[in-house]
């Protein structure tokens, strides 16, 4: 029981304030000896509701031990400014892409005299015409006949095993001596 009490008392008295984030969450650390090994415990005290999504990536990395040093306010300001620049660049690129698509769409509409829609002529060209289709059909019929003839040819018997094909007869094969 005294161990439990000392741990609870140590939790409140032996903690070190590390920093605060933009949402007002406060971060702490303390050194604790567990089984003869000195370990550092890190935690956050939320301001208001306990919303884990309010913690920034840098603080999460520090809490999980992926960072040795807690993020500084200057570092957090730099990263937030960088994220904002990236958001603005993404918005600008999306706007440019929409403008480009609108220009290309208007060029197509002017050149063809139509408003959007599929190009049926190029779609139809994909398929062979009637005379080409007959030629392709005859060639495939000839290939089918050739493969049927090959299958119907009898297999030459040998003293070596050839598999489980039509020539296999159980118990007839003897290993070469």
**Which of residues 67 and 129 earns the better pLDDT score?**
67
Q: Is 141 exposed, middle or buried (0-12, 13-18, 19+ CB in 10 A)?
A: exposed
**Region of poorest pLDDT, from 18-27, 64-73, 133-142, 165-174:** 133-142
The pTM of the full predicted model, rounded to 2 decimals, is 0.47
- Please compute the mean of the pLDDT values over residues 152-162 and round it to a whole number: 60
Distance CA 78, CA 82 (A): 6
Unique residue bearing structure tokens 């598999």: 163
pLDDT at residue 61, rounded to an integer: 93
The CB-side HSE value for 158 (13 A sphere, CA atoms) comes to 6
Distance CA 41, CA 32 (A): 7
pLDDT at residue 29, rounded to an integer: 93
pLDDT at residue 92, rounded to an integer: 95
pLDDT digit string (tens) for 69-115?
999 999 999 999 999 999 999 999 999 999 999 988 876 655 545 55
**Dihedral pair phi/psi, residue 121, rounded to 5°:** -65, -45
Distance CA 34, CA 12 (A): 18
pLDDT at residue 123, rounded to an integer: 76
pLDDT at residue 44, rounded to an integer: 92
Q: Is the confidence at residue 14, as pLDDT, over 90? A: no
Percent of the chain's residues with pLDDT above 90: 32
Pick the closest to residue 22 from 88, 79, 85 (CA basis). 79
Q: What are the tokens at 42? A: 């890190």
- With beta carbons less than 8 A apart as the criterion, state whether 71 and 58 touch: yes
pLDDT digit string (tens) for 46-71?
988 888 888 989 999 999 999 999 99
């Amino acid at each position: 029981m005294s161990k439990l009490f000392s741990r609870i008392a140590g939790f409140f008295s032996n903690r070190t304030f590390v920093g605060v984030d933009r949402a007002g969450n406060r971060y702490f650390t303390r050194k604790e000896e567990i089984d003869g090994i000195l370990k550092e415990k890190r935690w956050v005290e939320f301001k208001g509701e306990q919303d884990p999504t309010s913690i920034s990536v840098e603080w999460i990395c520090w809490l999980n031990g992926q960072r040795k040093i807690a993020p500084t306010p200057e570092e957090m300001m730099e990263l937030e400014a960088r994220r904002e620049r990236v958001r603005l660049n993404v918005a600008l690129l999306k706007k440019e892409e929409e403008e480009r698509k609108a220009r290309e769409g208007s060029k197509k509409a002017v050149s063809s005299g139509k408003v959007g829609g599929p190009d049926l002529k190029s779609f139809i060209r994909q398929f062979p015409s009637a005379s080409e289709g007959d030629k392709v059909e005859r060639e495939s019929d000839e290939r089918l006949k050739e493969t049927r003839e090959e299958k119907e040819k009898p297999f030459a018997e040998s003293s070596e095993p050839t598999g489980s094909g039509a020539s296999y007869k159980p118990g007839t094969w003897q290993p070469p001596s």
